[in-house]
């Protein structure tokens, strides 16, 4: 029964999905806009956001914002996994092809493929404040998908290899957790947000190289079939743990 709830591949993929979300947040196309997003979703700006009385409103606005982009990414994953289920018999070949794509996305994330780094996004400006926060989240999910595409593509690739729509959704949620937690943390500690964002901007090259390297390693595992070896090993551990219990 444990195998039906938590597979070895899912156990290996969840941390990668969360890490992919964190790397997406740290990307140069997201970090510079964070102060604007925080002010927009709360309907406040500048000194108003640093007041303690405004923190609950800011946190609630960020939660609505996260809910907005999470809806987009979860629906996207459902669509991709539904399409992938039509080719279940070719999943091994598809996994290897997706591995090549993930490697290319990793190289793009590191700046080695300039044309894949061109900014393509929708410019949508919903009403500022709590009412517009979820709509801004949806706009973020739709408009910035090309920008955070390298990390998102890795999560979608892992979702396809799961062969289950439900497990794919779990990975999408894990990705949204990784992407959303930094927004939420900055909302709680808005007084220190400028320091944190300055650190991220200062180390953006290192973060991009780390994220790109992570994607390349994942792509190589998919292409060579080693990802299956890793997940089989974890599956045997899960089965052994279930038997012992």
Percentage of the chain exceeding pLDDT 70: 75
For the chain, how are helix, strand and coil distributed in percent, rounded to 5? 85, 0, 15
Distance (Å, rounded) from C-alpha 149 to C-alpha 162? 20
Number of C-alpha atoms within 13 angstroms, CB side, residue 153? 27
Q: Is the CB of residue 157 less than 8 Å from the CB of residue 99? A: yes
At residue 245, does pLDDT exceed 70?
A: no
Distance (Å, rounded) from C-alpha 12 to C-alpha 17? 9
What is the reported pLDDT for 153?
A: 82
Any domain includes 225: yes
> Model confidence over 12-46: pLDDT tens digits?
788 989 998 998 888 877 887 788 788 777 665 55
Domain count, the chain: 1
Any domain includes 245: no
Instruction: State CA 141 to chain mean position distance.
Output: 10
Any domain includes 218: yes
213-217, 229-233, 237-241: range with highest mean pLDDT: 213-217
Q: pTM to 2 decimals? A: 0.78
What is the reported pLDDT for 244?
A: 45
DSSP-derived 3-state class of residue 151: helix
Which has the minimum average pLDDT: 10-24, 61-75, 178-192, 231-245?
A: 231-245
Any domain includes 172: yes
At residue 54, does pLDDT exceed 50?
A: yes
The four Cα atoms 175, 105, 90, 16 give a dihedral, to 10 degrees, of: -30
Q: What is the DSSP letter of 115?
A: G
pLDDT band at 90 (very low <50, low <70, confident <90, very high): confident
Burial class (CB in 10 A: 0-12, 13-18, 19+), 185: middle
> Stretch 179-184: mean pLDDT, rounded?
93
Any domain includes 4: no
At residue 49, does pLDDT exceed 70?
A: no
Q: In terms of pLDDT, which residue wins out, 181 or 237? A: 181
Q: In terms of pLDDT, which residue wins out, 206 or 11? A: 206
Q: Is the CB of residue 151 less than 8 Å from the CB of residue 211? A: yes
Any domain includes 3: no
Q: In terms of pLDDT, which residue wins out, 119 or 81? A: 81
Any domain includes 2: no
Q: Which domain holds residue 104?
A: 9-240
């Amino acid at each position: 029964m444990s195998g039906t709830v938590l597979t070895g591949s899912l156990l290996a993929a969840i941390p990668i999905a969360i890490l992919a979300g964190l790397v997406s947040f740290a990307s140069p196309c997201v970090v510079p806009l964070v102060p604007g997003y925080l002010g927009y979703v709360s309907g406040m700006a500048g000194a108003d956001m640093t007041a303690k009385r405004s923190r609950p409103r800011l946190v609630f606005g960020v939660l609505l914002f996260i809910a907005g982009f999470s809806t987009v990414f979860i629906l996207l994953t459902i669509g991709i996994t539904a399409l992938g289920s039509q080719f279940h018999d070719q999943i091994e070949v598809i996994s290897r092809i997706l591995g090549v794509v993930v490697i290319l996305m990793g190289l793009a994330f590191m700046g080695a493929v300039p044309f894949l780094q061109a900014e393509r996004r929708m410019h949508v400006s919903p009403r500022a404040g709590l009412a517009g926060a979820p709509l801004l989240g949806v706009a973020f999910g739709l408009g910035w998908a090309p920008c955070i595409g390298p990390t998102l593509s890795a999560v979608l690739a892992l979702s396809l290899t799961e062969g289950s729509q439900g497990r794919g959704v779990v990975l999408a949620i894990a990705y949204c957790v990784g992407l959303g937690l930094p927004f939420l943390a900055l909302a709680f500690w808005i007084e220190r947000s400028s320091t944190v964002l300055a650190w991220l901007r200062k180390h953006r090259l290192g973060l991009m190289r780390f994220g790109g390297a992570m994607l390349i390693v994942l792509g190589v595992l998919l292409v060579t079939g080693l990802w299956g070896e890793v997940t089989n090993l974890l599956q045997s551990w899960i089965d052994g743990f279930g038997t012992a219990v």
